[in-house]
């Protein structure tokens, strides 16, 4: 069984990878969120073990990107992090992680959690997350968005971008982050490409105050999708 392990603390990497290899796992370690995401997109892994705070993409951003890119081929994801507040745990599990372990880690607990998520994998196959957003229905599993029960025709990139925006309602997202998550760091993509796709989504999904939404442009930074408090 192959594990993608994202962690930038060298001592932690050495300890945990020794535990996993002694238990019979094949482990590939990454200290960069971008490198980890790219590897999981290109090669088969049975489980992803992610820290939260790492260079480039955070563990949470890696999770969001893999959900967009891999869809139903997404491997189980376990977070291992020092962040232990209830809000953090809820945020990670709501974003789609399968389990959450608070550091410091113990070998028996880690191995038990990994075994549990792999046992659950088949039972969870095909599960989709649907958001009811007023007149919009966002189906992350089927990668579809409907407006008043009619499917909206979007390109592949528009779909990727829309799903990520709805995963992050109320959060400011930089253009650079959107390029990393949606376009996978494609060299020829620039911030103007993001702006064009945002404009298209605003029009196709009618993300306007009169329809209950604002897709706000943040000068010099990026965009934020937010609900309109008092739609007309």
Give the C-alpha separation, 126 to 134, whole Å: 25
Structural domain spans, the chain: 2-124, 130-227
Angle at which helices 175-182 and 156-167 cross, to 10°: 120
Cα-based torsion angle of the residue sequence 31, 22, 26, 115 in order, rounded to the nearest 10 degrees: -100
Which stretches of 85-143 are DSSP H helices? 86-95, 107-124
| Cβ atoms of residues 228 and 213 within 8 Å | yes
**What fold, for 130-227?**
Arc Repressor Mutant, subunit A (1.10.10)
Residues 61, 66, 71, 77, CA torsion sign: negative
174 strand-pairing partners: 222
Averaged confidence pLDDT in the chain: 88
CATH code, 2-124: 3.40.50.2300
Q: How confident is the model at residue 230 (pLDDT cuts 50, 70, 90)?
A: low
| Cβ atoms of residues 139 and 128 within 8 Å | yes
| Cβ atoms of residues 218 and 177 within 8 Å | no
Give the C-alpha separation, 224 to 232, whole Å: 20
227 strand-pairing partners: 213
pLDDT of res. 32: 95
pLDDT of res. 143: 83
The DSSP secondary-structure symbol of 76 reads: P
Q: How many helices (H) and strands (E) does the chain have?
A: 8, 12
Give the C-alpha separation, 83 to 80, whole Å: 9
pLDDT of res. 33: 94
Give the C-alpha separation, 160 to 134, whole Å: 20
* Planar angle of CA 122, 53, 16, nearest 5 degrees: 60
pLDDT at 7 over 50: yes
Chain segment 106-153, per-residue pLDDT in tens: 999 999 889 888 877 655 544 456 888 889 999 887 788 999 989 999
Residue 51 or 181, more confident: 51
Long-range contacts of 107-110 (CB under 8 A, 24+ apart): 107/19, 110/16, 110/19, 110/20, 110/80
């Amino acid at each position: 069984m192959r594990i993608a392990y994202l962690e930038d603390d060298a001592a932690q990497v050495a300890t945990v990878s020794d535990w996993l290899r002694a238990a019979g796992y094949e482990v590939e370690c990454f200290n960069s969120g971008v490198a980890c995401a790219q590897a999981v997109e290109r090669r088969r892994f049975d489980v992803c073990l992610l820290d939260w705070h790492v260079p480039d993409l955070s563990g949470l951003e890696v999770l969001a990107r893999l959900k967009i890119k891999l869809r139903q081929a997404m491997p189980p994801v376990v977070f291992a992090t020092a962040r232990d507040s209830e809000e953090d745990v809820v945020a990670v599990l709501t974003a789609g992680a399968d389990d959450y372990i608070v550091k410091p880690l113990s070998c028996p607990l880690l191995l038990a959690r990994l075994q549990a998520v792999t046992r659950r994998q088949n039972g969870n196959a095909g599960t989709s997350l649907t958001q009811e957003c007023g007149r919009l229905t966002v189906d992350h599993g089927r990668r579809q968005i409907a407006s008043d029960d009619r499917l909206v025709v979007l390109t592949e990139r528009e779909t990727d971008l829309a799903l990520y925006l709805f995963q992050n309602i109320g959060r400011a997202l930089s253009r650079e982050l959107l390029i990393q998550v949606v376009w996978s760091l494609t060299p020829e993509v620039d911030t103007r490409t993001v702006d064009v796709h945002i404009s298209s989504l605003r029009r196709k999904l009618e993300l306007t105050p009169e329809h209950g939404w604002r897709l706000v442009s943040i000068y010099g930074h990026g965009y934020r999708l937010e609900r309109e408090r008092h739609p007309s």
